[in-house]
Amino acid sequence: MIKPGNILLPLLLHVAVTVAHGQQTVFGLFRNNVNLGDKYYRDKDYLNALKLYKEATRRDPDVRLRVARCYYSLKEYTQSVFYYDRYLQEKRSLPWSDMYSYAEVQAATGNYKTAIEYYQKHLANKQDDALAMRKVWRLSNIRYLYEDSAHISVHPLSLNTGYGELCAVPYGSRIVFMSNRKEAGLVEKVNASINAPFYKLYSARVLSGDDKNGHQYDKAVPFSKALASRLNAGPVAFYDKEQKMVFVASARETGNSGRRSLQLFFAEWKNGEWTETMPFPYNSRHHSFSDPTISEDGKVLYFSSDMGGGVGGKDLYKSTLVDNTWTQPQNLGETVNTPYDEAFPFLHQNRTLYFASNGHPGMGGLDIFETAITAEGYSEPRNAGYPINTSYDDFGLVVDSLDAHGYFSSNRKNGGYNDDLYEVEMDIQTYPVNIAGVVKMKEHAWSDSSALTLLTHTRVYLIDKLRNTTVYESTTDGKGNFSVIVPYFSEYMIRVVTDDGKESVVVLEIPKHQRQISAHEIVFVKDTF
């Protein structure tokens, strides 16, 4: 007869082996997740890497560092800060290789003091990093980027949705932009790298409103049926009186990484529709070409690319059309490009290049810069300042011929999760400014404009409409001429008072640019006195 004690030992041994085997299996799955996540991360497939890393954080807090790096690469800076901070709570310090990235995400979320601290920790081990030095200086003197803020107004577009809208460009009486919004009734193809529908091009007609208070827009509609079949479409740049364009679309074949690169294509308006004419000859399945801007004559093309041989990250390139052939793309060099990302160029009047960068010192994330195009190359980039730039990603600025009105994109709303479209009105007049002109009067509103009389020796008052105060007084001379000094940016009116005490008021529009200054002719109607 077998005693109970003789049965117990083998049973316990079996349980112990089973538990040990189970632990080994769980640990193996954990390591497999981390290793596979590392592979995705090396392949820049950050979303799939993130999913595996987040599962693994339950067993190893050290993996939080990998999660933070993924969110940094995905430009989800708030989440990156969160996981970096979780890691710091347990480890008390970061690896040196993460000091710069942590400074970047702190700057991108507006925590400038902490950002400066970690840029300096990075510099303690890399004292020759001139870029980090410049970023410390910029954040320590961030007030300078607010100096022109009173002269710039920014408004979100009514076209924005809970999805991404970006890269608006004027097109006749409309604007064309990118969006990954969902369309009702359609089966959407999903971009796995961001877990959202692919971007498509839309257009909307500009309706009522003005530059100062923002415009309203008609319902957005798909821009071109001919381009709708592409997985990803946009941005776009028009030229040749908007009869031609260059646009971005996904490559038709995958590269070595198994993903489709972005490529440049040309199209022409023919027979009432856009027809693709040719690809850019230097397109590659292994590197992306995106964010085109082109001269009006179609002979100078700028774009962004991550092709090899550059300064680092995404760089800006230039190609010229010579004898109907595009020249080998030329890197714009280290004055413009940095080891990080430069993208979304916009060529303005063939004299200025606007672009976005997270390498040049700014307010955090992508900032918008401008560089002058000279015979020697490019000037030192200048930060556009607040409110065009913020601590979030700001990019894709396009402006009109006077540098007065334009559009740009930003993820400043909702903690940086979605890109939105903004319009910007820029008053770059310098103050004080002298405004001169002549004051005239006609008998009735319906009178012929040729029947005008000069208002001589009449008191003229410059009134700040917003503050309801008189800021300057003058008197017209014997020929009705006057001169006033506008002391600062605001909204103004001119009030005239005649010798017999009658008065009237008109709005005075201040030119946005110094080169627009000319003699004002101010006409009052006698009926209004």
User: Domain of 43: which CATH number?
Assistant: 1.25.40.10
Distance, CA of 61 to CA of 84 (rounded, Å): 11
The answer as to whether 419 is a domain residue is yes
Kindly state whether residue 7 falls inside one of the protein's structural domains: no
**Residue 344 belongs to some domain of the structure:** yes
Structural contact between residues 205 and 170, judged by C-beta atoms closer than 8 angstroms: no
Q: Place 438 in a pLDDT band, splitting at 50, 70 and 90.
A: very high
108 domain residue, yes or no:
yes
Query: By residue range, what is the domain housing residue 518?
Result: 433-528
121 and 205 in a single domain? The answer is: no
Whether 3 maps to a domain, the answer reads no
193 in a structural domain: yes
- Kindly state whether residues 134 and 267 are assigned to the same domain: no
Helix (H, G, I), strand (E, B) or coil at 510: coil
Average pLDDT for residues 273-280, to the nearest whole number? 95
d(CA 305, CA 319): 12
Distance of alpha carbon 100 from alpha carbon 121, whole angstroms: 8
Number of structural domains the chain divides into: 3
Q: Do 136 and 163 lie in a common domain?
A: no
* % of the chain residues with pLDDT over 90: 64
- 32-41, 275-284, 351-360, range with the lowest pLDDT: 32-41
* CB neighbours of residue 419 within 10 Å: 25
In the chain, the amino acid numbered 330 is Q
Same domain assignment for residues 193 and 291: yes
CATH of the domain at 482: 2.60.40.10
**Contact status, residue 396 vs residue 153, Cβ threshold 8 Å:** no
Name which of 53-62, 98-107, 395-404 the model is least confident about: 53-62
Tell the burial category of 172 from Cβ atoms under 10 Å away from its Cβ (0-12, 13-18, 19+): exposed
Please report the DSSP string for 249-310 in residue order.
Answer: EE-SS--TTSSPPEEEEEEEEETTEEEEEEE-TT--SSS-EEEEEE-TTS-EEEEEE--TTS
In angstroms, rounded to a whole number, what is the distance separating the alpha carbons of residues 432 and 41?
Answer: 55
More confident residue, 221 or 440: 221
Last residue of a domain, one of 388, 404, 426: 426
Please tell me the predicted confidence (pLDDT) of residue 256.
74
| Residue 8 pLDDT > 50 | no
Residues 106 and 158 in one domain: no
- The pLDDT confidence band at residue 319, using thresholds 50, 70 and 90, is very high
The CA radius of gyration of the chain, in Å to the nearest whole number, is 30
Last residue of a domain, one of 363, 397, 426: 426
Q: What is the rounded average pLDDT of the residues 356-385?
A: 95
Q: Do residue 405 and residue 485 come from a single domain?
A: no
pLDDT of residue 231: 72
Residue 502 has a CB neighbour count (10 Å cut-off) of 13
Q: Is beta strand 459-464 parallel, antiparallel or unpaired with respect to 405-410?
A: unpaired
pLDDT tens by residue, 51-85: 999 988 877 778 999 999 999 999 999 999 999 99
User: In Å, what is the CA distance from 20 to each residue of 26, 34, 56, 331, 495?
Assistant: 10, 21, 20, 58, 91
Q: Which residue has the higher pLDDT, 494 or 225?
A: 494
Residue 221 pLDDT class (50, 70, 90 cuts)? very high
Q: Please name which of 300, 288, 290 lies closest in space to residue 239, comparing C-alpha atoms.
A: 300
Examine residue 508 and state whether it is found in any structural domain, yes or no: yes
Q: What is the pLDDT of residue 11?
A: 36
Q: How far apart are CA 26 and CA 37, in angstroms?
A: 16
- pLDDT at res. 184: 59
Q: What is the mean pLDDT of residues 324-335?
A: 98
SS3 18: helix
Tens digits of per-residue pLDDT, 36-45?
999 999 988 9
Q: pTM for the whole thing?
A: 0.77
